[in-house]
Chain A
């Protein structure tokens, strides 16, 4: 009896070992190292002393927290836009399309992700640059007199971010909408409810865990995205991840970069918690539903 229990534990431990090893060696350890880095300061060549200077710099230099706040706000906007766009798509896939049409629509959403993010983003650049496809089309249609630069704007960054994260919103939404019993909606119609009140009182509450899960994933991906804001935003991108890259690679200031990294981690955790609190969801529930 005791023997078999011990065996069970051993088996569980062995099964978990790769995951734990992965977590420990590739996630926890580097983070501990970074945390140590972020709490020290260079005082001379190869001389470092413990200090809070890196975090102080962040608050003392307005440009860093401007970029920080900007990144957070843009990410929230991008998440919201993705939700608005993904909801009808998910509804069509889950409820309206029958059989093969549903899977076909799903595959259409999936296909862009067969191509790497870099290539997709460069594709957007070819479309939007001043000498690109879309500005030329606008001139041809007589909408603008000369080609307009569509790159390097906040709106362009948002377009890119929404496009990149659409799938991550559609998937949890579809799975949560599929479990919605159609007869509930029919009953609501029979009782005289309008489309909007059905959406508000039946569909959204039912899909809430899916919505929250999608929003969390999209928000995290957006906040931590580097490529899309940098390429599409160009000289005005001002994304916080870019700031971290700059500190590490071009300024050789690992201490500052590490501090920025932890601030970003704190920010995403705080905003996710806030979102969960506001929507009355529990993290565990949300994760189970996806």
Chain B
């Protein structure tokens, strides 16, 4: 016992020493699965000598972790663009981005304008676009057919569908009910009423859900094993499944797909901004952005990646959004404070319903 204690003590000490030493040679990123492929990390190390240390996470965890440390522990985070402003206003976990240090010409201007609109606070920019995609439906076409979110609640699909118990699901079902939740962002009362309505619909539908999935693997597992025949899912997840099993298809819901855009953001107490800027410039180069696209399957906000993208992915995209028509996509605006609390209450109720 004594030896183990001693050994772990020595180990902890040496690790601490190592950390201090390699500080400016290390970039700590908190991001989503597949967003930072291993070959890109290796290429970055070769070019700059900087090691990348990666932590996998999701929107809520990223914010919670940064909040717990006051924005320390990571040098670069990748939250969704609509989740930055409220978190910044409330917890001050990010620092403004100095665009002079960046090659902005590497970004597609449409996406830059979205983040400019949604992540600017007091004239300072807090987010840069990285990857985007849409949420929609994925279906096992051999087993059933669906056209919109409420179809997940059809009696013949009892126990065979899945959604996430998170805010995108609330938004999706609101749009499917013919409402526009984003238009009600300013009207707390009407928004609360709409969320109650959506919550009631989800409670009525609960018997239909096999599970509420928390991660990609859980959903993929359910679909591949045939336990789940239809689910709310993001486009490229559906397309990936489609490549291994043609029966599984991504469906753009009749009420429109929800567009998400994930970003680069700098944690307030990150220690290596120089490396973070270097990394952003590096990953947004077309050839590197193409590597990311290949890893995650989503679309990049980088310029000139079109010739480098897998033609199958392009064909799948063209089939889902004919004529490159992105007009029907509902992009998330920045969430005003207070709304998430109401949504949380609704989600809790769905979770607790029988």
Contacts and interface: CB of A to CB of B under 8 A. Distances in A.
Contact of A250 (B60, B87, B92, B210): B60
Interface in B321-345: 337, 340-341, 344-345
B59 to A, nearest CB: 9
B245 interface: no
A235 B202 CA distance: 12
A250 B352 contact: no
Interface residues on B, range: 20 to 34
B61 A238 contact: no
A186 interface: no
B227 A252 contact: no
B109 interface: no
B227 A130 contact: yes
B351 A235 contact: yes
A249 B206 contact: no
A249 B64 contact: yes
A205 interface: no
Contacts of A67: 352
B67 A236 contact: no
Contacts of B227: 129-131, 149
A131 B92 CA distance: 46
Interface in A233-273: 234-236, 238, 243, 246, 248-253
A99 interface: no
Contacts of B211: 152, 234-235
B352 A238 contact: yes
A45 to B, nearest CB: 5
Interface string A216-248: 000000000000000000111010000100101
B37 interface: no
Contacts of B166: 250
B212 A250 contact: no
A251 B339 CA distance: 11
Contacts of A248: 64
Interface string B289-329: 00000000000000000000000000000000000000000
A63 interface: yes
Interface string A40-69: 000001100000000000000101101100
A252 B340 contact: yes
B212 A235 contact: yes
Contacts of A253: 341, 344
Contacts of B87: 252
A235 B344 contact: no
B33 to A, nearest CB: 17
A252 B348 contact: no
Contacts of B92: 46
A59 B344 CA distance: 17
A246 B340 CA distance: 13
Contacts of A251: 340-341, 344
Contacts of B107: none
Interface string B73-113: 00000000000000101111000000000000000000000
B21 interface: no
> Which of the listed residues B209, B226, B227, B349 has the most CB atoms from chain A within 10 Å of its own CB?
B227
Contacts of A131: 225-227
B64 A236 contact: no
A235 B90 contact: no
Contacts of A250: 60, 64, 166, 344
Contacts of B225: 129-131
A61 B354 contact: no
B159 A149 contact: yes
Nearest to A242: B351
B67 A252 contact: yes
Interface of A: 45-46, 61, 63-64, 66-67, 129-131, 149, 152, 234-236, 238, 243, 246, 248-253
Closest 6 CB pairs of A and B: A63-B352, A250-B60, A251-B344, A131-B225, A234-B211, A249-B64
29 contacts: A45-B90, A45-B337, A46-B90, A46-B91, A63-B349, A64-B348, A67-B352, A129-B227, A149-B159, A149-B210, A152-B210, A152-B211, A234-B211, A235-B209, A235-B211, A238-B351, A243-B348, A246-B344, A249-B61, A249-B64, A250-B60, A250-B344, A251-B344, A252-B63, A252-B67, A252-B87, A252-B90, A252-B340, A253-B341
Interface of B: 60-61, 63-64, 67, 87, 89-92, 159, 165-166, 206, 209-212, 225-227, 337, 340-341, 344-345, 348-349, 351-352, 354
